[in-house]
């Protein structure tokens, strides 16, 4: 399903691991590229600790801990056009959690999307990525979840369509094939570790890979950007562009591995800082991983095959309409040259957010400002405030077109109606 499934490498991948294991006995990297210290895996504390780390890398908390709720007690609402689905209680509560589940049951849920009770889970739970997790990581996760305080909270029942679990048998038949991660022996251990973290645990593709109309990720366009719908309230939506993560011009072309590593590890780099939906990803997950793991992820992402959408860029006349607004409102921090600065703000020249064919994240930055994850600092940058009450839809479209068409940027134009949709 993903670019990692290369049948020929599969055999050599397994052979490679077998040979390495034989050569280095206990010190060989596991299939996920992490080191397995001798004897440590038998130690319960170490297993629980490893499980805690796996839970962080998989960002289970962002989806299973609702604001103000007990850790992992579920009830986080995921809205879709067809209704609402609520995350499950995954504490060891017998009544409402997964207290009766065995390690084998948890494997089946993460690898196949089937609950211990036999019903099929919806892919709002990204088992389409978690299917690649090693058994060893799932077992560690199981050991860790057993140590989480049981909480009796019962999540709200799903809306009608999300009770039709039989439908998932058909969907899975069409779009899902369980598959464990297979390392690529032609690549370095660091690359393989990064691939495992991004593909299996980090489920970055869940947001950054476009989906077809049946909500299945289109692997041919992996990581080339997708749209994300946030329900601010039940009837108010805010769309986001989960930008192209490949190194094409509208993606991460201008980001060296070092900056991407720093962004994932600290939420801040001179190429850009975390804000928007990435605040949860960086705040709850990637910033809590080791520096080596953040670097491995960055290494893998920078190796993704390039690709993006080419659309007719804004014309010089369209861009010129926003020049004065940029000068008055933005230049102080992002610079006349669009290159930002260490003490002012991130560069907009070459920015994936600015150049994304889908302008929604750019519009959101201007409408609602850009603030980092709680407790994180963006170096010496001054926080960007919201312009929703300061600029009209047309002015925001104009300034968006200015940054989309200046300093070598080339992205399609934005109109006022697109801005209005985001209010």
Residues 12-41 that bind ligand HEC (CB under 6 A): none
Q: How far is CA 25 from the centre of its chain?
A: 35
From candidates 163, 332, 421, 423, binder to ligand HEC by CB under 6 A: 332
The count of residues interacting with ligand HEC (CB under 6 A) is 75
In whole angstroms, the minimum distance from the beta carbon of 295 to ligand HEC comes to 12
Does 63 interact with ligand HEC (rule: CB under 6 A)? yes
Q: Does 350 bind ligand HEC (CB under 6 A)?
A: no
Residue 49 exposure: Cα atoms within 13 Å on the Cβ side: 7
Query: CB of residue 299 vs ligand HEC: minimum separation in angstroms?
Result: 11
User: Toward ligand HEC, which CB reaches closer, 185 or 313?
Assistant: 313
Structure tokens at 38: 């001798």
Residue of 126, 283, 338, 412 that binds ligand HEC (CB under 6 A): 126
Measured at the CA of 222, the angle between CA 221 and CA 228, to 5 degrees, comes to 95
**Segment 253 to 272, residues that bind ligand HEC, using CB under 6 A:** 263-264, 272
Shortest Cβ 170–ligand HEC spacing (Å): 15
Pick one of 13, 31, 75, 346: the residue that binds ligand HEC (CB under 6 A). 346
Which residue stretch of 31-39, 56-64, 171-179, 305-313 sits at the interface with ligand HEC (rule: CB under 6 A)? 56-64
User: Which residue, 17, 35, 38, is CA-closest to 26?
Assistant: 38
In angstroms, the CA 273 to CA 132 distance is 29
Rounded-to-integer distance, Cα 208 and Cα 217, Å: 9
Task: Give 389's contacts (C-beta < 8 A, 6+ positions apart).
Answer: none
Q: How many Å apart are CA 196 and CA 181, to the nearest integer?
A: 7
195 belongs to the binding site for ligand HEC (CB under 6 A): no
CB of 379 to ligand HEC, least distance (A): 9
User: Is residue 228 within the footprint of ligand HEC (CB under 6 A)?
Assistant: yes
Q: Is 143 in the site for ligand HEC (CB under 6 A)?
A: no
Is the Cβ–Cβ distance between 301 and 312 less than 8 Å? no
Residue pair 298/282 in contact (Cβ under 8 Å)? The answer is no
- Whole-angstrom CA distances from 15 to 7, 12, 131, 182, 304 are 13, 5, 21, 11, 25
- 380 class by beta-carbon count within 10 Å (0-12 exposed, 13-18 middle, 19+ buried): exposed
CA distance 423 to 418: 9
Stretch that binds ligand HEC, among 14-22, 37-45, 180-188, 374-382 (CB under 6 A): 374-382
CB atoms within 10 A of CB 214: 9
Q: Does 78 bind ligand HEC (CB under 6 A)?
A: yes
251 counts as binding ligand HEC under rule CB under 6 A: no
Rg (C-alpha) for the chain, rounded Å, is: 22
Least gap, CB of 207 to ligand HEC (angstroms) = 3
222 interacts with ligand HEC by CB under 6 A? no
Does 248 contact ligand HEC by CB under 6 A? no
**In the range 270-329, which residues lie near ligand HEC by CB under 6 A?**
272-278, 281, 286, 297, 301, 329
1 vs 353, which CB is nearer to ligand HEC? 353
Check: CB of residue 404 under 8 Å from CB of residue 330. Answer: no
Which residue's CB is nearer to ligand HEC, number 28 or number 386?
386
Q: How far is the CB of 176 from ligand HEC (least distance, A)?
A: 13
What token pair was written down for 388? 């929703």
């Amino acid at each position: 399903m993903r670019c990692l499934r290369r049948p020929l490498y599969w055999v050599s991948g397994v052979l490679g691991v077998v040979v390495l294991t034989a050569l280095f006995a206990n010190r060989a990297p596991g299939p996920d590229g992490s080191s397995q210290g001798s004897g440590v895996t038998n130690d319960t504390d170490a297993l629980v600790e490893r499980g805690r780390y796996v839970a962080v890398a998989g960002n289970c908390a962002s989806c299973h801990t609702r604001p103000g709720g007990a850790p992992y007690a579920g009830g986080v609402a995921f809205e879709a056009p067809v209704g609402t689905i609520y995350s499950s209680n995954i504490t060891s509560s017998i009544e409402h959690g997964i207290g009766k589940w065995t390690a084998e049951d948890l494997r089946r849920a993460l690898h196949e999307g089937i609950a211990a009770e036999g019903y099929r889970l919806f892919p709002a739970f990204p088992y389409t990525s978690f299917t690649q997790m090693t058994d060893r990581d799932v077992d560690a996760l199981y050991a860790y979840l057993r140590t989480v305080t049981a909480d009796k909270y019962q999540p709200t029942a799903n809306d009608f369509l999300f009770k039709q679990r039989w439908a998932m048998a058909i969907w899975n038949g069409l779009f899902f094939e369980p598959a464990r991660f297979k390392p690529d022996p032609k690549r370095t251990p660091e690359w393989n570790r990064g691939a495992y973290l991004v593909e299996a645990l980090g489920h970055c593709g869940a947001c950054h890979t476009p989906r077809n109309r049946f909500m299945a990720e289109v692997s041919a366009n992996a990581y080339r950007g997708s749209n994300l719908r946030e329900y601010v309230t039940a009837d108010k939506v805010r769309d986001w562009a989960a930008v192209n993560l490949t190194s094409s011009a509208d993606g991460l072309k201008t980001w060296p591995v070092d900056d991407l590593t720093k962004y994932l590890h600290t939420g801040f780099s001179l190429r850009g800082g975390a804000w928007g939906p990435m605040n949860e990803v960086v705040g709850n997950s990637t910033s809590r991983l080791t520096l080596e793991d953040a670097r491995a992820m960055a290494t893998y992402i920078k190796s993704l095959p390039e690709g993006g959408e080419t659309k007719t860029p804004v014309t010089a006349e369209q861009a010129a309409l926003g020049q004065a607004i940029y000068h008055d409102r933005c230049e102080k921090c992002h610079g006349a040259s669009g290159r930002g600065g260490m003490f002012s703000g991130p560069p907009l020249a070459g920015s994936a957010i600015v150049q994304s064919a889908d302008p929604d994240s750019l519009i959101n930055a201007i409408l609602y400002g850009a603030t980092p994850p709680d407790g994180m600092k963006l170096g010496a940058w001054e926080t960007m405030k919201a312009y929703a009450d300061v600029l009209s839809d047309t002015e925001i479209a104009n300034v968006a077109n200015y940054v989309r068409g200046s300093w070598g940027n080339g992205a399609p134009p934005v109109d006022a109606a697109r801005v209005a949709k985001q209010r």
